Chains A and B, each alone.
Chain A
Amino acid sequence: MLAMDQGVVEEWLSEFKTLPDSAISTYAASLKDKGSLIPALYKVIRENYSDLLEPVCHQLFEFYRSGVPQLQRFTLQFLPELLWSLLSVSAARDPHTSGCIEALLLGIYNLEIVDKDGQSKILSFTVPSLSKPSVYHEPSAIGSMALTEGALANHGLSRVVYSGPHLQRETFTAQNRFEVLTFLLLCYNAALSYMTPTSLHSLCQLSSRVSICGYPRQQLRRYKGISTRLTVTSEFLVQLITGIHYALCNGEVELGSKALDDVLYRAQLELFPEALLVGNAIKSSLHSAALKSNNREGGRSIQVEITPTASRISRNAVTSLSIRGHRWKRHDAVDLGSPDELMDISEVDEGVWPGAVGPDMTPPTITISNSTTTLNLGVKAMKKCWLGGRSSKDKESGPLTTGRAASENAELSVKRLTLTSSQSVPRAGALTSLTRTASVVFSRSFEHVASSNPAPTSNHTASEAGRYSCSLQEERMGYLSPTPNHTQRSPSISIHLGSDL
């Protein structure tokens, strides 16, 4: 350590002691102008055997205890370096040197876990809920989508404790070490915006080293310090990742991404789901943001561009929203009966078509057009239709239709149905999936009909067979159509299966 650095540190040590209480706030503000002091302090912490370490730690604690935010942050900026010092010494099983660092860290911890009245501090936050109005939204505008079972279970806002209460600690033990250190990192992360680039740098370094020491990757990183493995906990890694995330987005791109990789590497080896979860999320979100490393001088890599306000998703695509608008509406001719009947039918599996279909079957006329239920319900309604059709056969005594002819025609029409949807309507994507569902269902039901009517009966001619017509119409779903006579027609599919009798 250079004599000059030593001088700076000694001056800093003596200056604060002589300071009157009234001058503390101005002193705190002036601290950041002492250019050579901070590097000198880092050196003191790194060189474990320095005589200055003890008074420095003591003074840093005094700073913290003063309660002046600037002084507290001054101390906090050294936290990553202090943590590394503590961990590397404890890994090297060299108990005597880190005593004052331990005392400093425990001191900060014991101050932070209690509030002003000396009660255990509990850090909690409110989990926002879309079902309660906020400054940014109204529940009604969100619609029913968000009202899932989970949302209903947590209806309303709930306060959740995320840290605390914690026990006062006199000494570090293997058991409480990471509990204390995790909490200290939480305090550090709460002041991240105030941390200097050097401190963030040191945090990234700490993260890398803690994660890789003693593992094969240590060679890759060419770190030659201690080579024993350090135990870590998942929560500790999550806190480290939070800090790294900030560093990554605020200038320390290279070191930050290296640190993140190292922490993820370790989390994989330890099979820590929490750390993997958050680390993966950060990686993937930064990947899509495509960080550039050249905005160092800009400092922050938070960039905002003008984004188009129009939806980038084509209007014809079936989305969760658009599919909500579809309901398979029954035709008036089909008697649907009461809604609880609907329930019964929904339980009937497609394959199980109860009873043989008599020869006097009249194919149902089904019109499907959209309104407002889910597809799910739509399918049920369709099944209902078949059943309705089936039951209606008992009442009607029209000419008979042969099963095979019916099925052939139905298959034909099903084919046509799919063709229409993909050819004549170029942007009918919204419909194809529906159509597909419909066609599957239709063909299946008719197959069944066919099998239950094994042979055409002689007293029916082919001309009597039901002629099915199938038409698929699709209006543009768009709200703005070029020609006025074509505007504002809601999408509708109408599948017409009618027999000329």
Chain B
Amino acid sequence: MTARKSGSRLETEIERCRSEGQWDKIPELVRQLSAKLISNDDLGELLLGESKLQMYLKENPIKQASSPRGPRPKLVEVRKHLTAALDRGNLKADYLQEASLLMAKICYLEGEYKDALGHYSRVNLDDMQLVGAPVYRLSMIAEAYATKGLCLEKIPASSPSLSNKNSGSPSPNRSPGDREQEIITCYEKTGDIALLYLQEAEKALSAGIQNRSPKPGPTALDLELGYFLETGLQRAHVIHFKNGNLTQGVGRFREILRAIETRTTQNLRMTIARQLAEILLRGMCEQSYWSPLEDPPTVSPLDNPTKQGYTYSKNYTLSRRPRVYSGENLFCPQENTEEALLLLLISESMANRDAVLSRIPEHNNDRIISLQSASVVYDLLTIALGRRGQYEMLSECLERAMKFAFEEFHLWYQLALSLMAAGKSARAVKVLKECIRLKPDDPTIPLLAVKLCIGPLHWLDEGEKFAKMVIEMGEKAAEFRAKGYLAIGLVYSLKATDASLRSTQEEYQRKALGAFQRAQSLSPTDHLAAFYLALQLAVSRQIPEALGYVRQALQLQGDDVHSLHLLALLLSAQKHYHDGLNIIEMALSEYPENFNLLYTKVKLEAMCRGPEEALLTCKHMLQIWKSFYNLTNPSDSGRGSSLLDRAIADRRQLNAMTLPDFSDPDTGSVHATSIAASRVEQALSEVASSLQSSAPKHGPLHPWMTLAQIWLHAAEVYIGMSKPAEATACTQEAANLFPTSHNVLYMRGQIAELRGNIDEAKRWYEEALSINPTHVKTMQRLGLILHQLQRYSLSEKVLRDAVQVNSTAHDVWNSLGEVLQAQGNAAAATECFLTALELEASSPILPFTIIPRAL
């Protein structure tokens, strides 16, 4: 800086320093300047005055909401410089204006608001040129408008001297509305010009850096908004909102956000984007929304009716405005959630960028600030996406919040819930574990984990652990204690179903019963406790006791579908088929689209009213299926598209899948014996639940599985009618969907039997068993065929295995008895027949376990 600079270069340097706010360099430059020409003295005074004023402001920043008062001794010098510059009158007009603006600023700082306004009226701010003005002057003009607004706000409305001194309005009787209007206009102009200034300054800066130094050494300076620009930029919308004028406030927000961002405005944009999103989510609805490119509605419910007396209307134009985002195919939100989401995503990307990662104590505060600003954004994202059911996307967003999440319960819990809602069960359980660690006293969290373990995951051991946590909380768990017992009861109940040894089965059944009883006594008004107790009793064939509890459950919750279903099955176990059918029909009047009920209805109808009726029901089921899954919109695509579309896409993979058991003890919930099958179901249920946003939920079953089941039921009815051709056709439909399902193979075997092809039947059954070795019905049929083929010992082996898997299958006992008898083992045969007889007396038309067990 020691080298003398030529005149124009010196001026450029001065201009640059003024634009970039490098006030400390000015005195030296002025020294060089005045050394050149005597007429530069006045300019020198102006520059010195300005730089000293700015330095003063930097050292003594004005705080928001504080009002300056009284003369400042340090400003005396500044005033001297400026007076000197103004008095001699040698300055060029532009510089003269600048000097006046600076004078006005000093007046404001000293609390002389009227004097300040006097200066502004002499300069006439509106006449100052924006086009072609140097960058620093844009900032000066913006600050002048801000200061003017501040002065106007400070002077009481009734002040008579104001109207005389004020430039624009000759009429002395200005209404408060006009005043308000003038103030807001000042601030809005400040905002627009300030944004323009920042854009221009940044442009100049980056150009300058490129020109001056090719080295990437010094990085860009951050321009700082002073008090005046910071206030001026925001004061307009603050006043709008204070006045309850939401439409104008939102309009102003949008204008600021639409201006192309600069480094300096990044934080402001982040805050404003979040605030606008808040307003969109908290104070607006679809009907009161208008898009950013539309004119706001003239009458809006958003504006406070009590302050309707005054309405602000924007009535100024500037010769230059800040540049806004433009271009083709610009996305413009059309709905409040869309806009809120867009703003939140922008906000999130910035908040994420500011995530403080270091954990040293010095940065505690920074970390808290960054965490807070981010978690507000994530909460708002949750509200917006939750409303629209977009849990999948939400879980992805919250996953990004994890860099803030160390030891932060709220973020972990929200992530877990979003994963759960998005159907990502396995991951949800993992995150829930962390939540439990952070908040070990909350019984809801382990219960949520059990819910997943029992339901889609079928992780019974894990589920048991979680349920025990709740129970161990004891009294602390309060209302959730009963739920804990219910949960562990369900775990045991499912384990009993899975167990292959009869002793283990009985052990778990006993434990389950105990748990349900405990739950029921803890919460006697909970229908679920009574219902599961009834179900467990029914499974262990204590029919009269089960009936008592199911009635109790129905008294508590009259239209509970599972209780009604259980009641019907219990009645069928007592061979009151007609009563059962009546109950089913009653239940169907409330749940006309429940396939589980319909399956039972098919069975009961075939029994009571003949197969024709049952076939009609099958047809009806096909219609329901079609209306359910066909009712989709072909036009929408991508995420959240119709269930059927997704299903069709999934069909490619179906060939490799097996149809889970249906008229088997394990339909209601996943059975673990066939691990492959349960994995498939797990995968499918993840798919199904991830679709829940657009499609109604119908249990965990895939729509194609439902369809296949309907066909197989129809096939079964045809077999009952001895119509092998039709049965084959139905089975073929199911086979088209699930060619390797053991149910399809089993049905084929039955058809073959019907046709008298014993060998073919045997082959089919063997294939079915190779896919699912524990399919009891197939085992029973195979046992019978082997019996017919007089291969007694093999038959006995198969049937004994079947009894091991399901000890309540009376027809297996019966077949076993026959085989034993044929082998001459009369005593054992008798025992078998007696068991069969006894079991048959309490056997429902479909196994009780087709009723789903879930928390």
Q: Does A257 contact B (CB under 8 A)?
A: no
B-facing residues in A102-147 (Cβ within 8 Å): 120, 122, 124-130, 132-138, 141-143, 145-146
Q: Interface extent on B, as a size class?
A: 35 or more
State the Cβ distance, B202 to closest chain A Cβ, in Å: 12
Given that A165-B633, A271-B451, A282-B379 are known contacts, is A158 also in contact with B358, CB under 8 Å in the complex?
no
Given that A125-B388, A280-B413 are known contacts, is A304 also in contact with B238, CB under 8 Å in the complex?
yes
Q: Is the CB of A127 within 8 A of B410?
A: no
State the Cβ distance, B8 to closest chain A Cβ, in Å: 24
A-facing residues in B224-276 (Cβ within 8 Å): 224-225, 230-231, 233-235, 237-238, 241, 244, 246, 249, 257-258, 260-261, 264-265, 267-268, 271, 273, 275
State the Cβ distance, B498 to closest chain A Cβ, in Å: 23
Chain B 166-187, CB-CB to A under 8 Å as 1, else 0, gives 0000000000000000000000
Q: Which of B302, B304, B365, B633 counts the most A-chain CB atoms under 10 A from its CB? A: B633
State the Cβ distance, A177 to closest chain B Cβ, in Å: 9
Q: Does A160 contact B (CB under 8 A)?
A: yes
B-facing residues in A194-253 (Cβ within 8 Å): 194, 214-216, 228-229, 231, 235, 238, 242, 245-246, 249-250
Contacts of A288 in B (CB 8 A): 372, 375-376
How far apart are the CA atoms of A162 and B386 in the complex, in Å?
Answer: 10
Chain B 10-31, CB-CB to A under 8 Å as 1, else 0, gives 0000000000000010000000
Q: Is the CB of B420 within 8 A of A273?
A: yes
Q: Is the CB of A282 within 8 A of B383?
A: yes
Q: Is the CB of A249 within 8 A of B400?
A: no
Contacts of A192 in B (CB 8 A): 285
Q: Is the CB of A298 within 8 A of B304?
A: yes
How far apart are the CA atoms of A142 and B257 in the complex, in Å?
Answer: 14
Q: Does B613 contact A (CB under 8 A)?
A: no
Q: Is the CB of B638 within 8 A of A299?
A: no
How far apart are the CA atoms of A125 and B390 in the complex, in Å?
Answer: 11
Contact of B479 among A242, A269, A298, A303 (CB under 8 A): A269
How far apart are the CA atoms of A311 and B351 in the complex, in Å?
Answer: 11
Q: Does B222 contact A (CB under 8 A)?
A: yes
Q: Which of A145, A193, A484 counts the most B-chain CB atoms under 10 A from its CB? A: A193
Q: Is the CB of B341 within 8 A of A127?
A: yes
State the Cβ distance, B273 to closest chain A Cβ, in Å: 7
Q: Is the CB of B379 within 8 A of A137?
A: no
Q: Of A39-47, A338-346, A426-434, which binds chain B? A: A426-434
How far apart are the CA atoms of A311 and B218 in the complex, in Å?
Answer: 20
Q: Is the CB of B417 within 8 A of A280?
A: yes
Contacts of B414 in A (CB 8 A): 277, 280-281
Q: Is the CB of A162 within 8 A of B349?
A: no
A-facing residues in B332-364 (Cβ within 8 Å): 332-335, 337-338, 341-343, 345-346, 349, 352-360, 362-363
Residue of A with least CB distance to B271: A307
Given that A278-B383, A288-B372 are known contacts, is A173 also in contact with B589, CB under 8 Å in the complex?
yes
Contacts of B386 in A (CB 8 A): 238, 274, 277-278, 281
Residue of A with least CB distance to B278: A302
Q: Of A18-26, A53-61, A313-321, A397-405, which binds chain B? A: A313-321
Q: Does A157 contact B (CB under 8 A)?
A: yes
Contacts of A145 in B (CB 8 A): 349, 352-353
Contacts of B483 in A (CB 8 A): 269
Q: Does A1 contact B (CB under 8 A)?
A: no
Q: Does B133 contact A (CB under 8 A)?
A: no
State the Cβ distance, A473 to closest chain B Cβ, in Å: 16
How far apart are the CA atoms of A133 and B325 in the complex, in Å?
Answer: 8
Q: Does A268 contact B (CB under 8 A)?
A: yes
Q: Which of B220, B258, B382, B400 counts the most A-chain CB atoms under 10 A from its CB? A: B382
How far apart are the CA atoms of A120 and B635 in the complex, in Å?
Answer: 13
How far apart are the CA atoms of A438 and B829 in the complex, in Å?
Answer: 78
Contacts of A231 in B (CB 8 A): 557, 559-560
Q: Is the CB of B633 within 8 A of A284?
A: no
Residue of B with least CB distance to A171: B589
Q: Does A479 contact B (CB under 8 A)?
A: yes
State the Cβ distance, A453 to closest chain B Cβ, in Å: 35
Contact of A148 among B230, B359, B372, B400 (CB under 8 A): B400
Q: Does B393 contact A (CB under 8 A)?
A: yes
How far apart are the CA atoms of A246 and B267 in the complex, in Å?
Answer: 27
Q: Is the CB of A306 within 8 A of B235?
A: yes
Given that A191-B287, A280-B413, A281-B414 are known contacts, is A126 also in contact with B329, CB under 8 Å in the complex?
no
Q: Is the CB of A314 within 8 A of B219?
A: no
Q: Does A487 contact B (CB under 8 A)?
A: yes
Q: Is the CB of B383 within 8 A of A157?
A: no
Q: Is the CB of A297 within 8 A of B285?
A: no
Given that A162-B390, A281-B386, A313-B366 are known contacts, is A300 also in contact with B287, CB under 8 Å in the complex?
no
How far apart are the CA atoms of A222 and B529 in the complex, in Å?
Answer: 26
How far apart are the CA atoms of A488 and B209 in the complex, in Å?
Answer: 12
Contacts of A268 in B (CB 8 A): 444, 480
Q: Is the CB of A158 within 8 A of B379?
A: no
Q: Does B284 contact A (CB under 8 A)?
A: yes
Q: Is the CB of B292 within 8 A of A135?
A: yes
Q: Which of B372, B389, B560 counts the most A-chain CB atoms under 10 A from its CB? A: B389
Residue of B with least CB distance to A238: B386
Q: Is the CB of A271 within 8 A of B448?
A: yes
Q: A142-B346, A307-B271 are in contact. List 15 more A-B contacts (CB 8 A).
A: A134-B325, A136-B258, A145-B353, A158-B638, A162-B693, A271-B451, A281-B378, A284-B379, A285-B380, A318-B358, A323-B357, A432-B358, A433-B357, A484-B24, A489-B217
Could you jot down 5 A-B contacts, CB within 8 Å? A127-B393, A231-B557, A250-B282, A277-B382, A281-B383
Chain A contacts to B: CB under 8 angstroms: 69, 93, 120, 122, 124-130, 132-138, 141-143, 145-146, 148, 150, 154, 157-162, 164-165, 167, 173-175, 179, 189-194, 214-216, 228-229, 231, 235, 238, 242, 245-246, 249-250, 268-269, 271, 273-274, 276-278, 280-282, 284-285, 288-289, 297-300, 302-314, 316-321, 323, 427, 429-430, 432-433, 479-480, 484, 487-490
